[in-house]
Chains A and B, each alone.
Chain A
Amino acid sequence: MSIVEAFNFIESKTDLKINYDEKDIDTNLRIISAGGKSTVEKLLLNISEVSNLRFRQVNLSINVLKNHSSFDSQLLEVVIDGLTISGKVTSIVDGEGLPGVNVLIKDTGQGTVTDIDGNYVLEVPSEEAILVFSSVGYVKEEVRVGDQTMINIALVEDIQALSEIVVVGYGTQQKVNVTGSIASLKGKEITEVPTSNIANSLTGRMAGVVVMNRSGEPGRDGADIAIRGFGKPLTLVDGVEADFTRLDPNDIENISVLKDASAAIYGARAGNGVILVTTKRGSSGKPTIRLTGGYGLQGSTIYPEYVNYAEYMELTNDYNPGSYSSEEIEAYRSGDKESYDWYDATFRKTAPIMRTNVNVNGGTESTKYFISYGFLNQESVLRSNDTNFKQHNVRSNLNIELSKAFEVRLDMAFRNENSTYPNASMENIMTHVAFANPRYATVYPDASKPSHNGYSLVGPNYLSSQSLTGYRDYQYKNTSVNAAINYKAPFLEGLTGRAFLNYMYDDTRQKNWRKDYNFYDYDAGTDIYSERTGVSKDGITLNEYFWRNHQTTAQFSINYEQEFGKHSVKSLLMNEIIEMGSFNNRAGRQSFTNSAVDQIFASSAETQFTEGSAWQDARVSYIGRFNYEYDQRYLFEFTFRNDASPRFHKDYRWGFFPSFLAGWRVSEESFMKNQNLIQHLKLRLSYGESGYDAYDNMYFNYISGYRYGPAQIVDGKAIPTVETTGLANEQATWERMTIYNAGVDVDFTDRILWAELDVFYRYRDGMLGQRSLSLPSTFGAELPYENINSQNSRGFEIVLGHDNRLDNGLSYNISGNFSYARAKWDHFDEAQFADEDNKERYQLSGQWVNRYFGYKSLGLFTSQEEIDAYWVDQDGDNGNGINHNIMPGDVKYFDYNGDSLINELDKHPIGKSNIPEIFFGVSAGLEWKGFDFSMLWQGASGFNVAFSAEAQQPFYNNATPLNIFMDRWTPENNDANARFPRTVGADGSDNNYKASTFWLQDASYLRLKNVTLGYTVPTSLSSRVRLQSVRVYITGQNLVTFTGVDPYDPETPTSGRGWDYPQQRTAMMGAIISF
């Protein structure tokens, strides 16, 4: 009989309850049963003899304690005393009983755990006793017994619980023991966020994670993620390099962002940080089916407005006086004649978005499953509604325990993305909106005759229709299969092995079908339609594209985890092999004679065209991690990764990337035990080396050879040509990044205030660059890329929070995160500047990376006298007298170098790049009796936008002006600080549209990123209809924005012309039902 069996035996025969920690019990020990009758006392003493355990009985509860020294002679201690307390522990969320909650008498180590329904019975020594209720994932509660005999308590879920498990590279760690700078997010925090791309759901939720959404176009509305302002991070889903942004949020268990040395275990890919996404797995129990559905509306965050025709004429008269008479203008102003809004004719205010998910989770002790299906349908704000994105996600994650030693995991995920667009691209449609003259009718009486915009011969509202112009269809399919065998060695406790294989492939099929189309003129007087001549007819064409990528990842690892008294060690050794490849081909035919059949055979092979490409890549890595913890106080971690890639020469392809991390849990020290203010305090330090190799120009930079070039025709036959790839650099190798991080985590009692602070410094060395001017131009070749440049960046992150629960049942939390990061060129290989001014101006070494150059504007000239008095030559054309082209209302520039001439030498850094230096989010949540409310404000600062072309200049290329240009300088509005200079014609002005402070906008913004109001129906009600839980919610994304940026969204690509699909705001309502 084993010890545990003996305990079970005692429990079955008596009312006694035995509490023990499995760790303390040696399962190999056997107790020889004496046979016949025995007493509990004898049996326990018997156990004590062989096992080094001692027992302490309090009323009916026996606690098993480890006998640490031979001086603990009292092997059996019986305390018969106190009161019996019983009660039920429930969850505040759904009122369900919580099993497995520890109920301990404070400062004694005695206690019990709740049963499956959350009930407990406990003997306490006196009324003074304090019961401590604790459970993983819940906020600890303390209750003084007093005169109560029944203590019921509802525990609050602890979102940032210290006992939380955090996913780290190739494993997990308890949050308390984490030594790196890691931000994490639970999947359920983003399941209700109404975005179609998960990248956009992360905005503002994690410190140091900068997310910029550049476009709202369905299917293309992803965001750029930059951890600490670095470049593109490595993203992994369940341990395999993959894009996570199109997963179904309902499938995500959690997201971890590794920001410092904790990423170094990913070696040469990890330099910009790592995002780890873990999907949900099954848990044993009867199946829980969860249905989620949401329906909402999307609309553009900013709706640019163009001038009406009266304003159009007024602006034209600015630069070409007398073009239009005041009567004419008045006729349109008063509404006698109609102006048309082409933007409004092309775009609608809202478009529906819908998503659903159904998943089932359950299993037995040995087999657990999570199966999920999700669907998303996103329509577009184009009135034609011919842009549409549909996505299906299917996932099945299985755990099968074959025996005590072996577990098999088999995960399959399939994703299908279908997007369709009009043949005319967004850019094309927007161009024709910009060129649309408001005098021209957007729709003719006969709407089947497409109307044109008066300038570019086509109309954007019709151009955006598939039935007129044809389509571009994308079908993307991604399949990923994980198979893993986990092995638990029976011969050595704590030793495990794992073999893991992932195969992933994706296909994209794109089909572009371009039709021929006509636009019409309409004569209202005669009611005659006539075809426009001059519409570009390139013929009916079809192009089909096919891409396939595949990737195989294999991981073989050995793990060992053990505690020796106060020492705890963990180690991991792994071999990872990644192999990938890709090819694409493209075929097209032109000159279809009609558009009846959109298939490739429907035109002549005479006009066909094909193209293709292919590549392959691989990676082999040896990985190790060693953790050592002493007494849960001192934490150390060492990791390494030896990475190799075929992209480099044999002798330079291996890179060794180590990291060291250390943590000190100050709050576990004895000197901290006697205070109640600080519950948890940890200091962290880390150093890590990692790399970056995702450059195109790094691709086989070491090989000198030839590539196929364009075919050359000789004797009428096309013969392929080859051209040199240029000089090679055999020594090209990994770029190396070294990151230092220091952090503090602190929780004050009951999380009245909690904080996480991190400071980092990163050094990028061996960035690829070309040496400057080392070879004369007569050499005839460029130097290859070499590992010569370096950058350093620094920054910090602060997270502050406050969680509380009031006696009336209201619980709330508020937290804010703030991050700052900026990078500098440490060394940039460049020519020595002889001229000090030029050096100051152009030398990159030692300068911030995110500088924007331009002139300093002194406002607008307000009079000819002012121009004449200004001694600086702005137009550089002395032949006709200084500044003969400059007129009042033109931009006046500052002559920085004082040479009385405005030229390149007067450009200076006047702004920053389009990636924010400062990024922050503030979130607040409230919960009360089943209602919950949360909101997230997010903002960014330290970046600029400078719109160009149509967004800067009225009549640019004859485009129709935006109505913001009405705020221009005019002789009547003779304001040096007018918003726009005087109106000039289509040719523009050499003077006014230079890069200058006049045009640079501070892109700082603050936006109500998300707001959610939900209600969870009490279990007592939902269980009556046999539902486990019912929740309804309404949520909104990007609802309010405060920014000085005009006329486009502050996240729009900088120097944009407003040709991007606008960023979207969304309102959605939905329900989640589990049964």
Chain B
Amino acid sequence: MNKIFKITIIMLLTAAFMGCEDLLDREPLDIISDEAVWSDPDLILGNLLGMYDKAPTRRDFHGGFPWGGAWDDGNAEGAHEPGFYTTYSDEARAGYNWVGSINNNLNGLDRSNNELSYWNYDLIRDCNVLITRIDNGNLDDAKREQFKGEARFIRALVYFELVKRYGGVPLITVVQDQTTPLDELYPERNKEKEIYDFIIDECNDIAGYLPDRNQVGRADKYTALALLSRAALYAGSIAKYGTVQLDGLLGIDANPDTYFQKSLDASNTIVSEGGYALYERYDDKAENYRQLFLDDNNAEVILSGHSMVFPKGIASIILMYCRVMALVGGRMCNRRSIWSMRMIMSMVATGL
């Protein structure tokens, strides 16, 4: 018997000293490697859709909810607090007096709270990564161009949110890494005009090859034109009414009419070729406005985002449903772009 044991032990020891290092090649179960992502069309799409999820929508600006996410295990009360925008504009007020938004409601905007700030170069980087790396990605050419165009659209959308707030910002269109020279890592701010022109040129370019209709929730030709139209309208207004300061970091020194014309042309294309129209289903204007946000994919909606985990009408998940990306076409300037989250929620809760 001793012999058997000796042999067993020797075998075990040998096995132990030889075979165990394979264990060290374990990989994390929740991380997909770079190579795997770029060699799989579905994962490339997942990457692109992730950027839509992070794109600057009204959802980003509604402010914080005191209890975080809407889905919980049922212990906490559902979060039904309105965000900052709605409280600034006096459309809503918080139900709890310790929620920050009540103070916004009472005292107005406090600049030091940075509630209106937006500085999402992370997403710009993600777009730049996709635009660069997709060239070696495993996709057919048509899809590759389309995905690239969508990433360029999202990037332009981010720059639009930035330029609205800060005027000229550094325009970064390549993927930087830690070894990038310092003068590129720390670029000068571009002029406000350069940023607007970039947005307009980009939209103009991608509108040339994006499909007429994309899946609901993704950008297409008319989405790009809608952004172009809005950006050009802003740029024209700045050129017309603003003053150039700080060597062009703020203000646009150009003929405003050129911008207005671009805006008008783009909007006309949307209406005449895109099949989009103002939503005029109800005579009652209030009801019509309400239904605009509830009537899925109506003719006025150019781009919308949904997260339909549950059917409408379940109170606790309404927040997730209300991620409508407010790029509502047509009356982009004359409609208040700030809308009431609370109003929407109450409507959904009672109406559907």
Contact = CB atoms under 8 A, between A and B. Distances in A.
B50 A709 contact: yes
A575 to B, nearest CB: 5
B9 A487 contact: yes
Interface residues of B, number: 76
Contacts of A499: 9, 12-13
Interface in A680-739: 699-700, 703-716, 718-725, 727
A402 B1 CA distance: 9
Contacts of B20: 575, 577, 620
Interface in A818-845: none
B328 to A, nearest CB: 18
30 contacts: A403-B1, A423-B75, A485-B9, A512-B75, A538-B315, A539-B316, A588-B73, A607-B310, A646-B27, A650-B24, A703-B27, A705-B32, A706-B34, A706-B47, A707-B30, A712-B50, A712-B305, A713-B217, A714-B215, A714-B216, A714-B218, A718-B309, A719-B45, A721-B47, A721-B50, A723-B50, A776-B185, A777-B119, A778-B172, A780-B125
Nearest to B106: A987
Top-8 shortest CB links A-B: A780-B125, A721-B50, A514-B74, A712-B49, A618-B23, A780-B121, A714-B217, A713-B306
Contacts of B12: 499, 556
B187 interface: yes
A718 B218 CA distance: 13
B53 interface: yes
Interface of B: 1-2, 5-6, 8-9, 12-13, 16-17, 20-21, 23-34, 36-37, 43, 45-47, 49-50, 52-54, 71, 73-78, 96-98, 119, 121-126, 128-129, 169-170, 172, 176, 178, 185-187, 215-218, 305-311, 314-316
Contacts of A650: 24
Given A423-B75, A779-B185, A703 B33 contact: yes
B9 A497 contact: yes
Q: In the complex, which of the residues A538, A554, A646, A707 has the most CB atoms of chain B within 10 Å of its own CB atom?
A: A538
Contacts of A711: 307
Interface stretch (A252-260, A312-320, A609-617, A1065-1073): A609-617
A987 B97 contact: yes
Q: In the complex, which of the residues A554, A778, A781 has the most CB atoms of chain B within 10 Å of its own CB atom?
A: A778
Contact of A722 (B9, B32, B128): B32
B75 A428 contact: yes
B308 A536 contact: no
A871 to B, nearest CB: 25
Contacts of A591: 314
A28 B126 CA distance: 78
A713 B52 CA distance: 10
A779 B122 CA distance: 7
Contact of A620 (B1, B21, B49, B122): B21
Given A543-B73, A616-B26, A716-B216, A707 B46 contact: no
B31 A707 contact: yes
Nearest to B177: A727
Contacts of B97: 957-958, 986-987
A300 B294 CA distance: 53
Contacts of A776: 185-186
Contact of B34 (A700, A705, A708): A705
Contacts of A617: 26
A708 B23 contact: no
Contacts of A579: 23
Given A541-B73, A646-B23, 14 more contacts: A615-B29, A618-B24, A650-B24, A708-B32, A713-B308, A722-B50, A723-B47, A778-B121, A779-B121, A780-B122, A780-B123, A780-B176, A783-B178, A986-B98
A653 interface: yes
Interface in A619-663: 619-620, 644-646, 650, 653
Q: In the complex, which of the residues B21, B28, B178 has the most CB atoms of chain A within 10 Å of its own CB atom?
A: B28
Given A703-B31, A706-B43, A719-B45, A712 B23 contact: no
A704 B34 contact: yes
Contact of A653 (B9, B24, B43, B217): B24
Contacts of B186: 776
Given A706-B43, A713-B308, A780 B29 contact: no
Q: In the complex, which of the residues B32, B74, B96 has the most CB atoms of chain A within 10 Å of its own CB atom?
A: B74
Interface in A465-519: 485, 487, 497, 499, 512, 514
Contacts of A713: 217, 305-308
Which of under 10, 10 to 19, 20 to 34, or 35 or more describes the interface residues of A? 35 or more
Interface in A759-784: 775-781, 783
Contacts of A620: 20-21, 23-24
A57 to B, nearest CB: 41
Contacts of A933: none
Q: In the complex, which of the residues B26, B73, B121, B316 has the most CB atoms of chain A within 10 Å of its own CB atom?
A: B73
Contacts of A709: 50, 53
A590 interface: yes
Nearest to A784: B178
A778 B187 contact: yes
Nearest to A422: B75
Nearest to B5: A406
A234 interface: no
A590 B119 CA distance: 38
Contact of A705 (B33, B123, B169): B33
A785 to B, nearest CB: 14
Contacts of A614: 29-30
B185 A781 contact: no
A405 interface: yes
Contacts of B310: 590, 606-607
A575 B17 contact: yes
A780 B127 CA distance: 10
A339 B89 CA distance: 43
Contacts of B1: 402-403
B125 A425 contact: no
Interface string A539-566: 1010100000000001010000000000
B298 to A, nearest CB: 15
Contacts of A718: 308-309
Interface in A414-461: 423-425, 428
B2 A405 contact: yes
Nearest to A428: B75
Contacts of B98: 956-957, 986-987
A700 B28 contact: yes
A642 B224 CA distance: 58
A715 B217 contact: yes
Contacts of A724: 126, 129
Q: In the complex, which of the residues A487, A712, A714 has the most CB atoms of chain B within 10 Å of its own CB atom?
A: A712
B53 A775 contact: no
Given A402-B1, A705-B37, A615 B49 contact: no
A1010 to B, nearest CB: 36
B34 A957 contact: no
B76 A428 contact: yes
Contacts of B26: 616-618, 646
B74 A403 contact: no
A508 to B, nearest CB: 15
A460 to B, nearest CB: 14
Nearest to A545: B73
B77 to A, nearest CB: 5
A696 to B, nearest CB: 12
A780 B185 contact: no
B31 A705 contact: yes
Nearest to B126: A724
A556 B9 CA distance: 9
A615 B125 contact: no
Q: In the complex, which of the residues B5, B29, B50, B172 has the most CB atoms of chain A within 10 Å of its own CB atom?
A: B50
A987 B119 CA distance: 32
A722 B21 CA distance: 31
A147 B50 CA distance: 97
B75 A424 contact: yes
